[in-house]
Chain A
Amino acid sequence: MSAVTHLPLNARKVVASRLLALTSLRRQQPQFEREDAVQTLAGIEDLYLRQTATGLRSQNSVPLDRYVLDTFRIVSQQVQVDTTTQDHAALVDSVLQTIDAQASSLSCSSCSYLAPTVCNGEYSDDQIVERSGICILPITNMFRTALSSTVGCYQNFSSIFGSATCPSVDFSTAAVQKRPHDIPVPYYVGGVTNYHDSAGPNSQVCLCLCIDEFEWETYLAMMYVLFHECVCHVFQGTVPWRGQTRQSTNANDAFAEGWMDWIAQWLLIGEADRHAAGIEFPALQRDTGRRFYLARIDSGARRPSKYAVARIIGTRAAEKLLSLLGALPESKSDHLSHFLRLSLDLNLSSVDPKGREAFAWKVDQYLPERLPSQATDAQVASSIAWDENPSAVARFADLVRNYLQTNDFAAFVHEVALLPPPESRGYTIHLTNDL
């Protein structure tokens, strides 16, 4: 197991103050809209963003709680003298008071297990944050939500999760200078999951934030990043546990980064739509997550991610198999459950990551983009309606049927791997994004 590290003190001064201010302001957004004062709200938010940027230059001798109080006091004074807020004085006062009250409740000495010593920029800060860390609690809670939703999903749908040697899971945070990904979205957050398996399986999820650019949109995007890390990576390769350090998957792994990411965004949407606890701004976090997800596979963007094509292959393969399961009489009544069971079991299995990836590529090669919507069960069963490459699809469908009967995903994946390349009848691998 590796020591858990967190954002340095200066970065946490920026992040903690912005978390408090931005979420408080956005909670009041409906009132501002009712008073036709959205511009006023935007102006106040801008003042908070400007003033909290000073956190990066704040002395380590200034405790975080003191910094937040002082900073918010300055913003309050700036707002009071701003003439544009006077038409909505009562509403503005109310929101400032709410923010100040929240800032007052932040106490470093209550948080620190070393009190009266509190975070001061030294090595022990990481341990204080790891044990309590009220300054980044909203982020930690987001991680807990993502992890708990993921565990629920694996428990509900996987057939082998119950027998898994569950990894211990740590959450860490890190600062970066530049946007930690090449995806064409203005979200300055990324994630990485590292395995420290020397004393049993341990997954350490790290949320990476570009502090200068930490604003509302990035806050909203964090939930999707955490769902991705938890669904795609945390439990990967743990069944059966072989006592060896797991291999991390590559950024261009079609199964881990495409196929499984489809499930991550599906789960986030479902959890947001049912207003699951811990997702405070469900519609906004869902929509931002969806934009992030789509941008990852947008090969038509002016500057697409260099890994977009691999993700497209995986995403498209997942959708194709789901579509096939929705068409086969044996699985159509509950095709999503069958799809999730296979995907999660395969992700959990300790097969070589290359085997999972090869499976995704083969599914994408064998199955057509879309199944005909008017196909009868008989047509689907015999595959005669699939005009792109009926014999290949029929062959693949037979393997799927066999899997549905046996639930032996390892044999299924092995048999799929042994399939020869399908004969092309105008059906080729499409490298464009048309999802």
Chain B
Amino acid sequence: MDSLTYTPTGVTAREVGEKLDQVWNELNKPGSPLAERAQSLQVDLSQVKGKSRADLVTVNEQGSGLAPATTAIIVAFAPTAAKILRDLWDRILLPRILHDLGSDSLTPKKRLEDRKSS
């Protein structure tokens, strides 16, 4: 599965998942302003319509413990439509999650290969 890793601030994977469900439902509502917005941005919603969010995008916590720095939130996309879902995540889902849960709630974690090249 294609996945992204985030450091959470003040949010849990469960809260992110619940928010994701809410936004997913909003995208599935015919004529909703969010769906219109996605269409105006030419975001492909074919993988959203009538499909279960949990089958396509999963949100899990990695690690556990007292120190928040040791935990991470992993967002993974179904391999069958990873490219489309990743675009949807970057342009619609993530901005909305940051808007609703706080602009600092999810910070992308640098992957090892990114760190090596920087």
User: Among residues 181 to 215 in chain A, which have CB atoms less than 8 Å away from a CB atom of chain B?
Assistant: 208
Query: In the complex the two chains form, is A177's CB within 8 Å of B96's CB?
Result: no
A174 adjacent to B96 (CB under 8 Å): no
Q: Which residues from chain A contact B60 at a C-beta distance below 8 Å?
A: none
The residue from B96, B101, B102, B104 contacting A123, defined by CB atoms under 8 A apart: B96
Query: Are B9 and A122 interface neighbours, CB within 8 A?
Result: no
What's the least CB distance linking B110 to chain A, in Å? 20
Chain B: minimal CB distance from A130 (Å)? 13
Interchain CB contact under 8 A, A177 and B104: yes
Of all chain B residues, the one with the shortest Cβ separation from A114 is B33
A8 touches B100 (CB 8 A): yes
Interface residue count for B (Cβ, 8 Å)? 17
Residues in B neighbouring A124, C-beta threshold 8 A: 33
Q: Tell me how many residues of A have a C-beta within 8 Å of chain B.
A: 16
Is A138 engaged at the interface, CB distance under 8 Å to the other chain?
no
- Hey, which chain A residues are within 8 Å of B32, CB to CB? 122-123
Within the assembled complex, what's the spacing in Å between the Cα atoms of A177 and B7? 13
Q: Indicate if the CB atoms of A177 and B10 lie closer than 8 Å.
A: yes
Asked whether, in the complex, the Cβ of A122 is within 8 Å of the Cβ of B99, the reply is no
List of B residues within 8 angstroms of A167 by Cβ: none
A8 to B96 Cα, complex, angstroms: 10
**When the two chains form the complex, which single residue of A5, A127, A177 contacts B99, counting CB atoms closer than 8 Å?**
A5
Given the contacts A123-B26, A123-B33, A178 and B104 also touching, CB distance less than 8 Å: yes
How near does chain B come to A176, taking the closest CB pair, in angstroms? 5
1/0 contact string of A228-248 vs chain B (CB within 8 Å): 000000000000000000000
Known A-B contacts A122-B32, A123-B37, A127-B33; the reply to A177 vs B26 at CB < 8 A is no
Tell yes or no: A121 within 8 A of B by CB.
yes
- Chain B residues whose C-beta falls within 8 Å of the C-beta of A60 in the assembled complex: 22
Can you list 6 residue pairs at the A/B interface with Cβ under 8 Å?
A: A122-B26, A175-B101, A175-B102, A177-B9, A177-B11, A177-B102
Chain A residues packing against B (C-beta within 8 Å): 5, 8, 10, 60, 121-124, 127, 174-178, 180, 208
